[in-house]
Each structure stands twice: as C-alpha cells, then as structure tokens.
Amino acid sequence: MEVVLLLGGNVGDPRATVLLAERLINERVGKVLSRSRDHWTEPWGFTDDRLFLNRALLVNTDLNERAVLDTCLGIEMELGRVRNMVSGYTSRTIDIDLLFAEGRTVDEIDLVVPHPRIQDRLFALSPAADIVPELVHPRLHRTVLQLLNDAKQRD
C-alpha cells in the first residue's frame, strides 16, 4: 500500500529532525518512494515566531493504517515530540500525519484517513501536491491539486 505522510516541525533544528524522521520512516514504515520539496510555513491554529518546515513523503508500506500511525507516533516520541492534549496546537519538534492511504478510508475515534482537515490546510496540500497532484481524495472526489486550488481561493 502507498501512503502519503506529512512531516512538520518548528522547534530545534527542523531540517535535521525532518531528515532523521524520514530515515526512520524508511527503516520502520516502508520505502520512501518520493519526497516533496521543503515548504516553510506559518504556524496553523496558533501564533509563534518560528516557521514550520513541512515535507510530504510517498511511502510504500506493508503495514496497515493503524500500524503506520503507531509507528509514526513512536518516531515522534523518539525525536522529542511531547503531546499536550489540553493546550491544542503548539510548536513541536516533529509531527507526522497520515494524509492518505491508497484511496482507502478509515473512520476510528483516533484515526481518520484521509486526514479529516486536509482540504483546509495549505501547509499539507502544497507539499502533497508536489508528489501526488493527481491523487483523488476518496471522500471529496477532488484531486490534491484541485483541493489546493480550492483552499487557496478560500484563503
């Protein structure tokens, strides 16, 4: 199965952290087939002076969506991510989101695929459009590039 992951962070050395996260994903999740260019973006949902580095990866994996998520959460913790469920969106060393899983959908309390807010997030759509512009969102029936253009018009 091919999955699209989004890596992002703005604490410490984001370039080094994203590079290490990509290496660990390649080792533990599956072979990285493609990567976006790096996108530096303003924080979303909160204010901070530091920009986020965002990079999308296309990964070929034998894992199911739950195992991909759990493995990515383990990588986040290993790289210093501290989740504070009370304070909402905050700065972080690394965040790894599962955006798409080969046209599949998952609806669980703690796992929704495609990512439930991707259509509103330029910082996710722009890197994804670098590597999978023609991928069709299985619920919205729009390509990543169409979703990006839609989001830019709303922004």
Question: How confident is the model at residue 90, as a pLDDT?
Answer: 73
Cβ atoms within 10 Å, residue 146: 18
Domain of residue 113, residue span: 2-154
Write the CATH number for 110.
3.30.70.560
Question: How confident is the model at residue 47, as a pLDDT?
Answer: 73
Mean pLDDT confidence for 103-118: 94
Q: What is the total count of domains within the chain?
A: 1
- With a CB cutoff of 8 Å and minimum separation 6, the contacts of 33 are 2, 58, 59, 60
Render pLDDT for 18-39 as a digit per residue (tens, 0 to 9).
Answer: 999 999 999 999 999 999 999 9
Residue bearing tokens 């050395």? 13
Render pLDDT for 45-97 as a digit per residue (tens, 0 to 9).
Answer: 767 789 999 999 999 999 999 999 999 999 999 998 776 665 567 778 899 99
